[in-house]
Structure 1
Amino acid sequence: MATTSDNTVEKVSCKCRLCGAQSQYVFKGPLLDLEIAYYKCQTCDYLQTETPTWLGIAYEHPINSSDTGIMERNLRNTDVTIAVLSVFAGGEKQAVDFAGGWGVLVRLLRDRGVDARWMDKYSDNLFARGFEYDSKQSREHLALTAFEVFEHLENPLEEIRQMVKISSFVLFSTQLRAENSIPPQSWWYLGAEHGQHIGFFSLRTLEWLARELGMHVVSDGRSYHALTERPINRIFWKPVLWLSKPIAWLVTLRHESLILEDHQRHSQVSHSRKE
Structure 2
Amino acid sequence: MDSTQTVKSKITGGPVKPIFDAKVLGKYCVTYWQCLETMFIQTDEPYWLDEAYSTAITDLDLGLAGRNVNKAEAAERLIDRALPDAKTFLDFGGGYGLFTRLMRDKGFDFRHYDIYCQNIFAKGFELDALEPVGLSKFDLVTAWEVFEHAPNPRELIRQLLSVSGTILFSTELVPEQPLNAESDWWYFTPETGQHVSFYSRKALHSLAEEFNLFLYSDNTANHILSARKLEIDPFPAERSSSSLFRLLAEPVWRRGKRMRTQSNRRESLLPADFANAVEQLKNTKAQQPDRPGGSSACQK
When normalised by structure 1's length, the TM-score is 0.79
Q: How does 1:74-223 map to 2 (within 5 A)?
A: 74-133=68-127, 135=132, 136-139=134-137, 142-178=139-175, 181-182=178-179, 184-186=181-183, 187-223=185-221
Distance 2:44 2:110 in 1: 35
- State yes or no: 1:241 paired with 2:241: no
Is the contact made by 2:8 and 2:14 (CA closer than 8 Å) also made in structure 1? yes
Range moving further from structure 2, 177-186 or 155-164: 177-186
Higher relative contact order (CA 8 A, sep 6+): 2
Q: Shift of residue 240 of structure 1? A: 6.7
Q: Which residue of 1 aligns with 2:46?
A: 52
Is the contact made by 2:19 and 2:181 (CA closer than 8 Å) also made in structure 1? no
Is the contact made by 2:20 and 2:180 (CA closer than 8 Å) also made in structure 1? no
Helix, strand or coil: the match of 1:12?
helix
Computed over aligned residues only, the root mean square deviation of the Cα atoms, in angstroms, reads 2.2
Q: Which residue of 1 aligns with 2:273?
A: none
Q: Deviations over 1:179-214 (max 9, x none)?
A: 584364211100112110000000111111111110
The gaps in structure 2 that reach 5 residues or longer are 249-300
Q: Deviations over 1:80-134 (max 9, x none)?
A: 2111111111242421001111111111111111111011121121111110236
**1:231 partner letter:** K
Distance 1:229 1:241 in 2: 23
When normalised by structure 2's length, the TM-score is 0.73
Q: Which residue of 2 aligns with 1:35?
A: 29
- State yes or no: 1:25 paired with 2:18: yes
**1:18 partner letter:** I
Q: How does 1:262-273 map to 2 (within 5 A)?
A: none
Pairs aligned (count):
236
Distance 1:111 1:202 in 2: 34
Higher strand fraction (1 or 2): 1
Helix, strand or coil: the match of 1:236?
coil
Distance 1:23 1:210 in 2: 20
Stretches (4+) displaced over 6 A: none
Is the contact made by 2:96 and 2:121 (CA closer than 8 Å) also made in structure 1? yes
Distance 1:17 1:63 in 2: 25
